[in-house]
Structure 1
Amino acid sequence: MGIAIIIVMAIGVALILTGKVPTAFALVLLAVAIALVSGAPFVGAENSVLSTVLQDGAIRLASTMIAILLGSWLGSLMRDTAIASTLVRKTVEFGGDRPVVVALGVLLISALCGAVTGSAPAALLAGVIGIPAMIAVGVPKVTAAGTILMGIGAGVPFELPVWQFFSTALDLPVADVRSFMVLLFPFAAVAAVAYVLVETRRRGTVHQWSLASMSDADADAGSSAPAADTRSRRQRLGDAPWFALLTPLVPIVLALVLQVPIIPSLLAGVLFAVTTTTPPRLIATRMLRSLYDAFHVAAPPIALFIAIGMLLAAVGLPGAVAALRPIVEAVAPTNVVLYVVVFSVLVPLCLYRGPLNIFGLGAGIAGAMTAIGFYSPMAVLGLMTSYNQVFGVADPTSTQTVWAAQYSGVTPQQVMVRVLPYVWVVAIAGIVLSAVRYL
């Protein structure tokens, strides 16, 4: 039976990799197939396909879905209220015509946006202004795209919906997830800074296409504006107030320092963003409009998390656990050195929607490892969060990588080749940390 489940998983990987079936649909089919192969009845009150896998599994990650929606809402507000664009514009102005300084500043803003919402919305928030600004001062196109992605990767350890996902999927307290993410962050941050410093210097300055600098734009605007225009510079540019720029830090500080639960922390960020940028009479309208936009952004990941919940329910069925236990015990490394070597070599399997992608079949593998009890949940957490650092930055099929590459005028594969060595090192560091602490 265990071999049959492995074959079913292999078929699921093939369907996802070939793109013949959307990932969410493939995971639902995979969940049903695993349940049936493991001997689960189709109907019944407990451990059945209909009630346990489809019904209970669909809502298993409900808290994660809500966190995703709130993170998307906050990201939508940061876009609509010009918080994100103001952060990037101020950073670019500070950097002037110094490519390294501009790139490091955009990297920081990308990390803040990544901590708020992650994925493509974060790339949009930081990259719409940040990428043209970097290229204008001579940062090569591939390096500019990679800077946005490495920044998002540095912010992922503080992305609250990701905390909620791993907490629910691996049945861990949020505090335990938070503790490992804090340890993983320095490695991601150092790798991101190293990427900017090394790549901008190694590739040199390349002026491929340019935009007018903000200072020139301001001067032109000032020369053509009517003499009676007494508006402040911030009002002319449509910048958000300075105190509103603290918005990305609000949920992070609440959840990390004050240990406020994740959903209230995100709600606090939403309220802070809208109240610091919007006249009272317009608050309700802006909140409602941005919430509708957030549903549009959050719909694809929510659909994916519904499918992942079903897959987690399927691999946790008693029949599946009993069938997979001897296989896992026979092949999984327990020696610390072997654990690090094997799982470090397997890092590329999280790319191209591969079997170790935590937002695909990797969720099922992680759930099986946890259900079997061969590795502690914290060891599985360390392993999968390390892989997630690679997937979130280097996977050429992920939405943020595709958008950043295309917006910069390069291919996702070019970006992957450039950033992969850096995030691979981050993954190895996380795997070593996991092995030392939890094996």
Structure 2
Amino acid sequence: MGIVILAIMVVGVAVILSGKVPTAFVLVALAVGIGFAAGAPLFGEDGSVLETVMQDGATRLAATMIAILIGSWLGSLMRDTAIAKTLVRKTVEFAGDRPVVVALGMLLVAALVGTVTGSAPAALLAGVIGIPAMVAVGVPKVTAAGTILMGIAVGVPFELPIWQFFSSALDLTIAEVRSFLIMLFPFALVAAVAFVLIETRRRGTVHAWSLAMPAEPGTGEPSRRERLGDAPWYALFTPLVPIVLALGFEVPIIPSLLGGVLYAVLTTTRPRDMGTTMLRSLYDGFTVAAPPITLFVAIGMLLEAVNLPGAVGALTPVVEVLAPSEPWLYVLVFSLLVPLCLFRGPMNIYGLGAGIAGALTAVGIYPTMAVLGLMASYNQVLGVSDPTSTQTVWAAQYSGVSPQQVMLRTLPYVWVVAVGGVITSAVLYL
């Protein structure tokens, strides 16, 4: 039966790679198929497909979904209150016309934004002004796009929704998740700085911004955001507020994010406008958060399916044979398999990789913290170099290059980050 479950997963990978069916739909189908292959009945209160896999699975990552929503809300607030725009503008003004300094400044801004929200919203907040500014002073277009993405990856170890996701998915405490993700930060930072220092010196710089800025819908008049002045200097600390609350005072994830929302509003908005501003940005946050929330519903179902007793029993002998057992072999194999997280591949943590992580945890081949280390390390690659991820596509297209160009330029750097994470995981947990 374990071979049947693996065959179902292989079919799922093929369908996801085809790009013809949304990933979330494929994951739900996989969850149901694995449930039946594991011998789960259709009906019943415990261990059934409808009750355990679909009902319980749909809400398994509920805390993560709420964290994603609030993080998106905070990102929308940073846009609407000109916090993100001011961060970028002040950085450019400080850096002047020095390409390396401008790029390093944009890297810092992207890292700050990446702690609040990931994916395309983070790329847009940092990149709408940051990418033209870098290209205007001579940074190559591919490097400009990659700088924004590498910067976001530097902030990911401190992104609170990511902490919540790994905590819920792998049944770990926030403190356990946080302890490893923070260890990824030095790897991500060194790789990002190296990317900027090396890639800004490549040939082919362009000293003008020749791409059209995306226009706001309307009559051509300045948008509300464009009419806003700079945010107050003290409002620029908004991205740090949730981190300080969660890391320094051990406030739970969701209240920490709400603290950031409250701080952003109080420091930028008149009292009479606070309600309107918060409501409008919340609606925008729902729009941004809807796709990842849908995906997390499906991932929860898949996690429940691979944790069914029948699935664990069937997969145990197969995983014991296939999974590298020695620490050095663990490092070698999983370092070589890093590209499998790209192109929606089987190690994509927001796809079938979540099921593989759940299976490894359920079978008990590796300690749960080792599985966290593996998947968190792969996540650093996925968010930067995957040509199918929304942030990579947006940053590349906005810069006037292809996502594949960005992948080829950034992959060597983030691959090193992943290898560093895998080695750290092996040393600490195996």
Give the TM-score, by structure 1 length. Answer: 0.93
Match of 1:380 among 345, 366, 371: 371
- Is 1:252 aligned with 2:243? yes
Q: Secondary structure at the match of 1:138?
A: coil
Instruction: Give how far 1:300 is off.
Output: 0.2
Deviation readout 1:28-73 (Å, 9 max, x if unpaired): 0000000001110010010000000000000000000000000000
Give structure 1 stretches of 5+ with no counterpart.
Answer: 212-234
Equivalent residue number for residue 98 of structure 1: 98
> 195-204 or 179-188, which moves further after superposition?
195-204
- Distance between the aligned counterparts of 1:236 and 1:72, measured in 2? 23
Aligned to 1:221: none
Listed as ranges, the matches of 1:14-53 within 5 Å are 14-53=14-53
User: Are residue 416 (structure 1) and residue 399 (structure 2) matched?
Assistant: no
Aligned partner of residue 117 in structure 1, secondary structure: coil
Aligned to 2:110: 110
8 Å contact kept, 1:142–1:414:
yes
2:136 is equivalent to residue 136 of structure 1: yes
Q: How many angstroms apart in 2 are the aligned matches of 1:20 and 1:72?
A: 27
Q: How many residues align?
A: 416
Matches of 1:427 and 1:88, distance apart in 2: 28
SS of residue matched to 1:116: coil
Question: Aligned to 2:268, what secondary structure does the other structure show?
Answer: coil
**Residues 265 and 274 of structure 2 are in contact (CA less than 8 Å); yes or no, is this contact kept in structure 1?**
yes
Q: Deviations over 1:102-160 (max 9, x none)?
A: 00000000001111001100000000000000000000000000000000111100000
Uncovered stretches (5+) of structure 2, i.e. residues with no partner = 212-225
What residue in structure 1 maps to residue 190 of structure 2?
190
**What letter corresponds to residue 335 of structure 1 in structure 2?**
E
CA distance in 2 between partners of 1:274 and 1:170 (Å): 34
| Separation in 1, partners of 2:282, 2:227 | 27
Question: What letter matches 2:304 in structure 1?
Answer: A
Question: Structure 1 residue 162: deviation in Å?
Answer: 0.3
Amino acid at match of 1:96: G
Decide which of 326, 332, 336 is 1:335's aligned counterpart.
Answer: 326
Q: Distance in 2 between matches of 1:203 and 1:426?
A: 25
Give a deviation string over 1:279-321, Cα, whole Å, max 9, x none. Answer: 0011011101100000000000000000000000000000000
1:205, distance to aligned residue in structure 2 (A)? 3.8
Tell me if the contact between 1:149 and 1:393 (Cα under 8 Å) persists in the aligned partners: yes
Percent identity at matched positions? 76
**Counterpart in the other structure of 2:63:** 63
User: CA offset at residue 236 of structure 1?
Assistant: 8.0
Separation in 1, partners of 2:210, 2:298: 44
Q: Which residue of 2 aligns with 1:438?
A: 429
What secondary structure sits across from 2:138 in the alignment? coil
* Matched-pair contact (CA < 8 Å) for 2:81–2:228: no
CA contact (8 A) 2:396 2:406 kept: yes
Is contact 2:113–2:239 with CA below 8 Å preserved after alignment?
yes
* Pairwise CA distance, 1:209: 3.2
Summarize the alignment of residues 276-315 of structure 1 with structure 2, pairs less than 5 Å apart. 276-315=267-306
Which residue in 2 is equivalent to 1:406?
397
| Residues 15 and 96 of structure 1, relative CA distance in 2, 3 Å threshold | same
Query: Between Structure 1 and Structure 2, whose CA radius of gyration is higher?
Result: 1
SS across alignment from 2:231: coil
**Contact kept? 1:123, 1:403, Cα under 8 Å:** yes
Residue identity opposite 1:434 in structure 2? S
The answer (yes or no) to whether the contact 1:137–1:210 under 8 Å persists in 2 is no
Q: Which amino acid aligns with 2:283?
A: Y
- The two structures have a TM-score, normalised by structure 2, of 0.95
Structure 1: which amino acid aligns with 2:280? R
Partners of 1:316 and 1:36 in 2: CA distance: 13
Cross-structure match for 1:83 = 83
Counterpart-to-counterpart distance in 2, 1:356 and 1:245: 36
Task: Quote the RMSD (CA, aligned, Å).
Answer: 1.1
1:269 and 2:265 matched: no
Map of 1:354 onto structure 2: 345
1:238 aligns to what SS in structure 2?
Answer: coil
State the Cα deviation string for residues 331-379 of structure 1 (Å, max 9, x = none): 1111111110000000000000000000000000000111111111100
Tell me how far apart the structure 1 counterparts of residues 429 and 34 of structure 2 sit (CA, whole Å): 29
The equivalent residue for 2:223 is: none
